[in-house]
Amino acid sequence: MKEHSTITTEIGRYFLTDHIREMVNFRATRQSLGFRPPPAQKAAPPGSRIIPLPNRETWSIPPCDLQTAIAARESRRGFSSEPLSLDELAFLLWATQGVRAVLHEAAVLRTVPSAGCRHPFETYLAAQRVEGLESGIYRYLPLDHSIVHVRDIENLPRRLAAATHGQGFTGRAAIVFIWAALPDRTEWRYAEASYKVIALDAGHVCQNLYLACEAIGAGACAIAAYNQTLVDELLGVDGYDEFGVYLAPVGKIGEAP
């Protein structure tokens, strides 16, 4: 086996192990040196349009039995033309990145776990059919349970399909969740031992999206096959300090393509 491996194979398999931890000097991390943690949430630019979301006390979301949701979960790629309501979007955002408690600036607990409580993701939304939302790119502000309008995009369905290597169902979704990583948040605590745990963290977020979708008659499909440059362009991020890592189109269940 080993004789067929390339340097990329070696790096990839090494990434999946935890050998890196033996090499990191944890006494020299920015946390250990007393630096403040990076902010838990990227600030909304001054003057940007903020849309507050309904919360658990006010939204109208039917209860859903966990066993039923787990048993029914599947990757769904067929979406109907029915829009999502703002209540439903608020519920999905809460399920994936909602804040449970703010203990202190380095410990903001959410509805999903995260290594070292670092929560390295921003959630971008390519909204196409959400009641009360114009089409465009938005971003979730978990500390405020609001979304901020980021930018309008012409031909959004076509841009989404192109950004996912022609996976056309992405362009037909009511909304596409696009998670961007800000590695700095995790590096503050774990330095070079950050990268595998960031990848692990993303899985929990998307699994909660899958299960929450089952509660509202919607479907989701995880997407890891995407064009890095096109996704980062869509979000307007620099591709180094912040870059897309994972996507999931969501819509009310329709016929599979």
Ligand X SMILES: Cc1cc2nc3c(=O)[nH]c(=O)nc-3n(C[C@H](O)[C@H](O)[C@H](O)COP(=O)(O)O)c2cc1C
Contacts of 58 (CB under 8 A, 6+ apart): none
Name the minimum Å distance from CB 219 to ligand X: 10
Q: How far apart are CA 17 and CA 217, in angstroms?
A: 38
Complex with ligand X: residue 167 or 186, whichever CB lies closer: 167
Q: Which two tokens stand for residue 178?
A: 């696009």
Which CB sits closer to ligand X, 42 or 204? 204
Question: Which residues, 6 or more positions from 105, have their beta carbon under 8 angstroms from its beta carbon?
Answer: 36, 37, 40
Site residues, ligand X (CB under 6 A): 74-75, 167, 221-225
| Choice between 64 and 222, CB closer to ligand X | 222
- Distance in angstroms (rounded) separating the CA atoms of residues 190 and 77: 36
- C-beta of 41: minimal distance to ligand X in Å? 25
Phi, psi angles (nearest 5°) of residue 227: -90, 115
Q: Shortest gap between Cβ of 221 and ligand X (angstroms)?
A: 5
Return the number of the residue (90 or 221) whose C-beta is nearest ligand X: 221
Cα–Cα distance measured from residue 228 to residue 214, given in angstroms and rounded to the nearest whole number: 29
Closest distance of CB 253 from ligand X, Å? 13
